[in-house]
Chains A and B, each alone.
Chain A
Amino acid sequence: MDTTLEHEKINGSDYRKLIIIAAQCLEDNKEEINELNVFPVPDGDTGSNMSMTVSNAAKELMHSNDMPLDKTARKAAKAMLHGARGNSGVILSLLFRGISNGLATASECDGVAWANALSEGVKMAYKSVEHPAEGTILTVAKRCADAAMKASLEKNSFEYVLTAAISEAEKALKDTVKQNPVLEKAGVVDAGGKGWLLVMQSMRNALNGEEPRELKISEENTETREKADFSSFDTEDIKYAFCTEFIIHKHDGDADSSPLKEYLGSIGDSLVMIDDGEIIKVHVHTNVPHDVLGEALKYGVYETVKVENMKNQHTNKLVEQESEEKKEELKEYGFVAVCSGDGIEAMFKELGVDSIVSGGQTMNPSTEDLYKAVLSVHAKTVFILPNNKNIILTANQVSELTDKNVIVIPTKTIPQGFAAMLGFNEDDDGATNEKSMIGCIGNVDTMQITYAARNSNYAGLNIEEGDLLALYEDKLLCADKDIKQLLKILADKAKHKDKKFISIYYGSDVTEDMANEALSVIKEELKDTDAEVALYKGNQPVYYFIISAE
Chain B
Amino acid sequence: MQKYILSCCSTIDLPRDYVEKRDIKFIGLSYTLDGKEYTDDLGKTMPMSDFYKAMANGAMTKTSQVNVDTYIEYFGKFLEDGYDIVHVSLSSGLSGSYNSAKIAATELKERYPDRKIYVVDSLGASSGHGLLVAKLADLRDEGMSAEEIYNWAMENRLKVHHWFFSTDLTFYVRGGRISKAAGWFGTVLKICPLLNMDNNGKLIPRFKIRGKSNVINEIVKKMEENADGGLDYSGKCFISHSACYEDAKAVKDLVTARFPKIDGEVMINDIGTTIGSHTGPGTVALFFFGKERID
- Interface residues in chain A, defined as those with a beta carbon under 8 Å from any beta carbon in chain B: 346-347, 350-352, 418, 421-427, 500-501, 503, 530-532, 534, 536, 550
A-B contact pairs, 8 of them (CB 8 A): A422-B209, A425-B205, A426-B182, A500-B213, A503-B210, A534-B211, A550-B210, A550-B214
Contact status A347-B188, CB under 8 Å? yes
Considering the chains assembled together, what is the distance between the CA atoms of A425 and B184 in angstroms? 9
With contacts A422-B191, A501-B190 taken as known, whether A532 is within 8 angstroms of B183 at the C-beta atoms is no
Residue numbers in B under 8 Å from A421 (CB-CB): 183, 208
Residue numbers in A under 8 Å from B185 (CB-CB): 350
Residue numbers in A under 8 Å from B257 (CB-CB): none
Question: How far, in Å, is B127 (CB) from chain A's closest CB?
Answer: 25
Considering the chains assembled together, what is the distance between the CA atoms of A426 and B213 in angstroms? 25
Contact status B189-A532, CB under 8 Å? no
Residue numbers in B under 8 Å from A427 (CB-CB): 204
The residue that B211 contacts in the complex, of A347, A351, A424, A532, with Cβ under 8 A, is A532
Considering the chains assembled together, what is the distance between the CA atoms of A70 and B210 in angstroms? 54
Question: How far, in Å, is A409 (CB) from chain B's closest CB?
Answer: 14
In B205-241, the 8 Å CB interface with A consists of 205-214, 217
Considering the chains assembled together, what is the distance between the CA atoms of A501 and B192 in angstroms? 12
Residue numbers in B under 8 Å from A503 (CB-CB): 189, 210
Q: Which of B179, B181, B204, B209 has the most CB of A within 10 A?
A: B209
User: Is there a chain A Cβ closer than 8 Å to B186's Cβ?
Assistant: yes
Residue numbers in A under 8 Å from B190 (CB-CB): 501, 532, 534
In B143-199, the 8 Å CB interface with A consists of 179, 181-183, 185-191
Q: Which of A350, A421, A423, A534 has the most CB of B within 10 A?
A: A350
Contact status A501-B181, CB under 8 Å? no
Residue numbers in B under 8 Å from A501 (CB-CB): 190, 210-211, 213-214
Contact status B214-A418, CB under 8 Å? no
Question: How far, in Å, is B166 (CB) from chain A's closest CB?
Answer: 15
Contact status A350-B217, CB under 8 Å? no
Residue numbers in A under 8 Å from B207 (CB-CB): 422
Q: Which residue of A lies closest to B179 (CB)?
A: A426
Residue numbers in A under 8 Å from B179 (CB-CB): 426
Contact status A351-B213, CB under 8 Å? no
Considering the chains assembled together, what is the distance between the CA atoms of A418 and B182 in angstroms? 13
Considering the chains assembled together, what is the distance between the CA atoms of A302 and B112 in angstroms? 84
Residue numbers in A under 8 Å from B186 (CB-CB): 350-351
Contact status B212-A352, CB under 8 Å? no
Considering the chains assembled together, what is the distance between the CA atoms of A425 and B210 in angstroms? 16
With contacts A421-B183, A426-B182 taken as known, whether A536 is within 8 angstroms of B210 at the C-beta atoms is no
Q: Which residue of B lies closest to A550 (CB)?
A: B210
Residue numbers in A under 8 Å from B208 (CB-CB): 421-423
Q: Which of B188, B206, B212 has the most CB of A within 10 A?
A: B188
Considering the chains assembled together, what is the distance between the CA atoms of A418 and B210 in angstroms? 10
Contact status B210-A424, CB under 8 Å? no
Question: How far, in Å, is B83 (CB) from chain A's closest CB?
Answer: 44
The 4 closest A-B pairs by CB, nearest first: A501-B211, A352-B183, A500-B213, A422-B208
Q: Which of B205, B208, B212, B217 has the most CB of A within 10 A?
A: B208
The residue that A350 contacts in the complex, of B183, B204, B209, with Cβ under 8 A, is B183
Question: How far, in Å, is B173 (CB) from chain A's closest CB?
Answer: 13
Q: Which residue of A lies closest to B206 (CB)?
A: A425
Question: How far, in Å, is B180 (CB) from chain A's closest CB?
Answer: 9
Question: How far, in Å, is B140 (CB) from chain A's closest CB?
Answer: 38
Considering the chains assembled together, what is the distance between the CA atoms of A550 and B191 in angstroms? 12
Considering the chains assembled together, what is the distance between the CA atoms of A347 and B185 in angstroms? 11
